[in-house]
């Protein structure tokens, strides 16, 4: 159902661990642009580019678990909060 407001792995698929065969995961990410308000009536008469871009993605731990790593540790994968 559209629109998606939260990131997710499609069909909540989880790959089996250590099978040696490839497993493909497909997922949703969510992005949103923020614009300055130039006029009260937003008619499109003024060119405007986004001043801010926000993205929501799943935690590395969640992706690792879906990829077949049931022991993925949040603190080690995501806890540093310094991915950018």
Residue found by looking up tokens 């690792």 in the block: 64
- Domain map (residue ranges) of the chain: 1-16+29-35+48-84
Tens-place pLDDT, residues 46-66: 777 888 988 888 888 888 888
Cβ-based burial of 81 (10 A; exposed 0-12, middle 13-18, buried ≥19): exposed
**CA-based end-to-end distance of the chain:** 30
Q: What is the pTM of this model?
A: 0.64
Are 82 and 60 a contacting pair, CB within 8 Å?
Answer: no
Tens-place pLDDT, residues 17-52: 877 788 888 888 888 888 887 777 777 777 778 889
């Amino acid at each position: 159902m559209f629109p998606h407001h939260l990131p997710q792995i499609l069909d909540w698929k989880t790959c089996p661990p250590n099978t040696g065969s490839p497993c493909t995961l497909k997922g949703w990410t969510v992005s949103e642009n923020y614009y300055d308000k130039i006029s009260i009536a937003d008619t499109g008469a003024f060119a405007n580019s986004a001043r801010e871009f926000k993205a929501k993605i799943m935690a590395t731990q969640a992706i690792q678990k879906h990829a077949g790593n049931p022991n993925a540790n949040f603190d080690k994968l995501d806890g540093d909060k310094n991915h950018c």
